[in-house]
Structure 1
Amino acid sequence: MQDNENMELEEQDGADEQEEPPGPSQGTSYQDDEDGSTCPVCLEAWTNCGDHRMCALKCGHLFGHKCILRWLDVQTKKCCPTCKKPVRRSDLRFIYAKKLIAVDNVELESLRVQLETALAQKNSALQNVSKYISREHVLKAEIEQLKRRVQELTSGCKATDLKLAVNRVRLYMEKNLEICSKNGCRDCKVFDISVQQDALLVTSRAPSDLFGAFGVKQFSLSNYKPIKFIPIHKEPIRDMCLHPTVNSLVLTVSTEKKFKVTETHNTSSQSVSLDSAPWACTWNPRNSNEFFIGTQNGTVSLYDLRKIIEPKLSLSVLGDFSPVVSMIAIQEPSGSDIIVAARLNAVWAFECYPDGSFNRHILPLEGPFLSLRYDKETKQILVSSRPNKNMPFARHTVCHLEKTRDPDLISCNTVYSFKGGSTAKLLAKTSCFAPNNIVAGHHETRKSILLFSVNTGEEVGSCPTNDNLVFDMNSFETPGGDKFLTYLNERKIEFFKFNVA
């Protein structure tokens, strides 16, 4: 019996020496569907226990345990029946699996290669995007330099000359006028100046509590002496503006939901009640009889002195009912008028046509907004804004309007944006244009009014604010050539004189 087994093993060994077992790449039955469940030596199914349980060699090929032992016993050169790599008995490892089936992963490998290629392409694209972003920053810096250069050339002097000129700007305290003697009184919020009429008008409470009225105090601009108090409203005045040509007319809006046009010489007035409290007002530069009123519900209305009861035109934005905090009116040579209205969180430009129609355009500026100013000589707009979540500081932005006809659009181009303080506690007019192409803006953090050059974008001077409260700010030039910056706090109006060497 033992001899017969030895003869069978020798015959099997001889057959193995004559013909090598087919490898996995030779396309034999090793690739068949049954290959995952049969022993390649005896071609019988292996088991998960017993003497024919499945085991693996170091090279990874699988066999029945008794078959591989018998193979190794009869081989002089111990090797794997499949790949002929050297084998030791200690290399045998049992495989604890009920059934082993090989999965065709050619498609999976192909997809993996495609994924790696796509990832490589993505990384290359991201690197290119990073390069383009860096290039964009460089180009923006070059554009800003070119803008400054254009402004320098336009002004007709070199950059060094500009810097020398603006750096010599100094402000000196000329005078301060007490408007209210009460501490904590915030009834004095707005003032306006008429150099032609030698008049300074400041909103205030009546000097005597007997009448309990609110109006304007009139001072002489040349000698700073008080002239008279003109009672106008029963509640505090929110905004005021003198007529641009008829300086004896003053337009005021009050929290009592009324606006009035008052003649300062004889204190006569025309009064109109509104459904919503008016917040801002301005005269129409094209027509001396017309003016605009901005209300708490976001409506801008055009009124005429000759028929003041009803508005001639109402401008509104569908869905936006935020208050109008400030307005400016711009006269266009084409015959249309542009009303720029700053609401709390948006600035709208209304283009009004002679036939009564209008178009509205939102300007690309970030709020919340405080005030608007307009310089007729340079045709620039000054927009003051509070800090927001994107900009943790107040801003005083100089820009000018741009009009296009195809498409019909009004936008604005920013010249410079000057930083203010990290806070802006009051809803007030905290900036203005000043002589010599300078912008003055309140900086609460530094407790000062800073001066910036519109030519170079640099800070060129400052003046202190005593109690760090600024309700309104303005500048003017006397007939003698003296230039002043003046601002209003809760008790006084202070005058600073420019001294340019």
Structure 2
Amino acid sequence: MAEPYITDEQDYDAMQLLEIGLELSESEYSEEDEDFIPVVELDSSPRFLLNSDQATTTTVAAAAENINFQEEEVDVEEERNKRRRVEKLGSGGDICCRNGGDDAGGESSQNSQWNRSEFDGLFCPICMEAWTNEGDHHICCLPCGHLFGLSCIEKWLRQRGRLAKCPQCNRKGTLRDIRKLFVPRIAVVDEESQKRIRFLEEKCASLVTKDVDLCKKESEWKRREAALQLEVQKCKERTIYLEHLLGDLQSRPSGLATAYRGSQGHEFRNSIYSDFYRQGSSSCFMLQRELRVDGARLFDVDASGKILLLVRRVPMMGGSHVLTKMSLIPPHESEDIFLPPGTKIIKDLHISPTNGSLALFASLGKKLSVLSMESNNVILSYDLPAAAWSCSWDLNCSHYVYAGLQNGSLLVFDMRITGSPVESRLGHTTDPIHTVQSLQHISTLPSGVKTVVSASSVGMCQWNFGCEEERPFLIPETTNQGVCVSLAYCASSDDIVVSYRPRVEMSNEVVSQTLFMPSPATGQGVLGSHLHLKRVGSNYEKLGIACSTVSGIRLPKSSIIDRQNQKPLFATGDEVSCGLILQELPSFTATQRLKPHQHFIYDVKYTSTHSQGLLGCLSEDTVQLFSTKLS
């Protein structure tokens, strides 16, 4: 195909040659004047002057002929330009089709129109080259609105002079009509693309709706899976319990029958066999949570605030203790509370029964401290004359707290007085007081008298504060039973259980321990006893006693569960299985054995709300929480 502008320039030169004596200058006429008549300049040479008449006639005729010829050339040129643009568009479309693949010749006319529309808004229709935002080929337009490259349209209009028209619509235009456009990009909205976009948007919305439905179904499946896993876990716990119980039945009764042929051995065997028949009881405890902890020693539970407070031993800190506050709400977030220097080992810990935001703890650093559960700071600390082994809140007045010391003394503090104890008493012996319990006030005592029971190795003592100074007295029923290692008290029912292990007698540097019974499964234990007492007025009534395997070294913890209209339960750790065993009082008949631990049980606590009872037990690396519905 010929170049678009070569023919135009040749025709233009021919027209200039035919115009004898005529010169068209763009500077001498206005391009907007459509009635412009070119000026004819006559030759002033002598030859011309001699033949002036003939020359004039010839010139006029030539000029007329030239004008007619020029008009014909313009018409022919316009036809050529139209044909040339069509050929260029066709060739451009062919190029696009060839670039698209070898089989482009088989594409439909719709595809050809689509390809042509793609570059209609991107290329100059004169030269078919992309226009630019600056330079010679700057994008511009004529008053009719058609777009061109600046250099192309200027050349086009100059060649045609006053007869110049728009190459696309043939509307008259001049150089002064050219307007530059300053745009980042020209894009033509395509209806087919818009329809495609709307279709894809609808499809996307449909997929989003389907995704939401699938997410809901997935959540439901996960919930059902969790419920099934919980059922499987319960079945596994039941299987482990039955296997342990079967092994216990096969290995233990023969030895016990030999050692105890009396009523105590009979009660102990009955407590083992009764496990099979008590599982359907309404007071059955079910495992609610099992949380992993490191170096745990003591704990307490705030049921209303869903908070678990732990005492942990941290080997990296030289074996010192820290407090860890853990939420009972998943994901069970925890926070360590570091104690002031000099606190040392914590021996006892209790959350206030009337104000769950306060916790009381006693330590071997001769400190009795009150911790704020809200700020995680020690807000009150008392200096003690000796190391503290136990502590307790007063059940009748939330301002009073008690501390049992290593030298056998018992101190009373009023938290409104931060300097010193309000009362201090010496005990019967200098043995450490390992347990302190405040008792409910009874009408037989004068107003303002506070009654406290404590436990040391000699047995259980009662202390009366707020009256004339008197020494504590031992409860007769608790003496001569062995070494007192634990005391549990239920404030709502006034039930008390005191635990003992046999005394160690030294003779000729030979240590003999009575009724020593090794346990190959978990280490060594001794056969001790549990004594059940009930407070009646100012006296204590002995209701029952039973033997049990207890630790020969540690001071175990235990708890009493008040079941309101049913007999109370006694919860204590079993040294053989390292699990928690529940026994009905006063017969000490075992009603339930709970999931065993890998290590010995260090602490047991029970608390309740209006509709639920919560029982917790703690070993070195695990804390278990069991729950039951209260009638």
Q: Of the candidates 450, 469, 476, which is equivalent to residue 607 of structure 2?
A: 476
Read off the aligned partner of 2:352 and give its amino acid letter: H
If asked which structure has higher relative contact order (CA below 8 Å, sep 6+), I would say 1
Residue pair 1:434, 1:475 contacting (<8 A) in 2 also: no
Alpha-carbon distance in 2 for matches of 1:273, 1:417: 40
Partner of 1:492: 622
Distance 1:356 1:492 in 2: 47
Q: What is the CA–CA distance in structure 2 between the aligned matches of 1:193 and 1:246, rounded to whole Å?
A: 12
* Correspondences of 1:279-290 after superposition (within 5 Å): 279-290=389-400
Provide the aligned C-alpha RMSD in A: 3.3
Is 1:179 aligned to residue 293 of structure 2?
A: yes
| Cα separation, 2, equivalents of 1:348 and 1:456 | 24
Aligned-partner residue type, residue 337 of structure 1: K
Q: Does 1:448 align with 2:579?
A: yes
Name whichever structure is richer in strand by fraction: 1
1:462 to partner: Cα distance = 0.7
What are the equivalent positions in structure 2 for 1:430-449 lying under 5 Å apart? 430-433=558-561, 435=563, 437-449=568-580
Consecutive unaligned residues of structure 2, counting only runs of 5 or more, are 1-261, 268-273, 504-512, 516-525
| 1:433 and 1:474 in contact (8 A); partners too | no
1:330 paired with 2:439, answer yes
Change (3 A) 1:228 1:424: same
Deviations, residues 157-183 of structure 1 (Å, cap 9, x unaligned)? xxx9xx879757544433211221xxx
Maintained 8 Å contact 1:218/1:229: yes
Alignment map for 1:394-473 (pairs within 5 Å) = 394-403=528-537, 410-421=538-549, 423-433=551-561, 435=563, 437-454=568-585, 457-473=588-604
Displacement after TM superposition at 1:420 (Å): 1.8
Of residues 430, 436, 458, the one that matches 1:345 is: 458
Distance in 1, Cα, partners of 2:540 & 2:460: 11
The Cα shift of 1:445 comes to 2.7
Alignment of 1:74-85 (within 5 A): none
1:461 and 1:210 map into 2 onto residues whose CA distance is 39
1: CA distance, partners of 2:415 / 2:622: 33
Q: Deviations over 1:20-43 (max 9, x none)?
A: xxxxxxxxxxxxxxxxxxxxxxxx
- 2:364 corresponds in structure 1 to 255
Q: 2:304 maps to what in 1? A: 196
* Partners of 1:255 and 1:468 in 2: CA distance: 25
Over 3 Å counting, the alpha-carbon distance change for 1:221 and 1:169 in structure 2 is: same
SS in 1 for 2:419: coil
Q: Distance in 1 between matches of 2:586 and 2:383?
A: 45
Distance 2:496 2:583 in 1: 15
Structure 2 partner of 1:242: 351
Does the Cα contact within 8 Å between 1:258 and 1:272 map onto a contact in 2?
Answer: yes
- The letter of the residue matching 1:262 is L
User: Could you tell me how far 1:275 is from its partner in structure 2?
Assistant: 2.5
Correspondence list, 1:115-154, <5 A: none
Change (3 A) 1:416 1:455: closer
User: In structure 2, how many angstroms separate the alpha carbons of the residues matched to 1:499 and 1:462?
Assistant: 18
Asked if the contact 1:177–1:493 (Cα under 8 Å) also holds between the matched residues in 2, the reply is yes
Displacement after TM superposition at 1:370 (Å):
2.2
Task: Mark the structure with the bigger radius of gyration.
Answer: 2
Structure 1 residues 497, 438: closer, same or farther in 2, change over 3 A?
Answer: same
- Asked whether the 8 Å contact 1:301–1:314 carries over to 2, the reply is yes
Contact kept in structure 2, 1:192 and 1:241, CA below 8 Å: yes
Shift of 1:418: 3.4
1:326 CA displacement: 0.4
Aligned partners of 2:360 and 2:370 also within 8 Å: yes
Which SS does the other structure have where 2:339 is aligned?
A: strand
**Kept in 2: contact 1:292–1:303 (CA 8 A):** yes
* 1:368 and 2:483 aligned: yes
| Helix, strand or coil at the partner of 2:601 | coil
- State the SS of the aligned residue for 2:549: coil
Measure how far apart 1:411 and its partner are: 4.3
Residue 441 to residue 166, structure 1, CA distance change in 2 (3 Å): farther
Bigger Cα displacement from structure 2, 263-272 vs 337-346: 263-272
1:296 corresponds to: 406
Aligned with residue 316 of structure 1, among 426, 442, 447: 426
C-alpha deviation, 1:390, in angstroms: 7.0
2:569 partner amino acid: I
Tell me if the contact between 2:297 and 2:313 (Cα under 8 Å) persists in the aligned partners: no
What letter matches 1:489 in structure 2? Answer: S
Residues of 2 paired with 1:300 and 1:452: CA distance? 31
Once the 2 structures are TM-superposed, how far is the Cα of residue 383 of structure 1 from its aligned partner?
A: 1.7
- Which structure has the highest helix share of the two? 2
| 1:216 partnered with 2:323 | yes
Q: Cα deviation per residue 1:413-432 (whole Å; 9 max; x = unaligned)?
A: 22222332154431131444
In structure 2, give the amino acid aligned to 1:357: E
1:277 CA drift (Å) = 0.5
Alignment correspondent of 2:337: 230
Give the aligned partner of residue 49 of structure 1.
none
Q: Provide the rounded CA distance (Å) in 2 between the counterparts of 1:486 and 1:377.
A: 19
Q: Structure 1 unaligned runs (5+)? A: 1-139, 146-159, 404-409
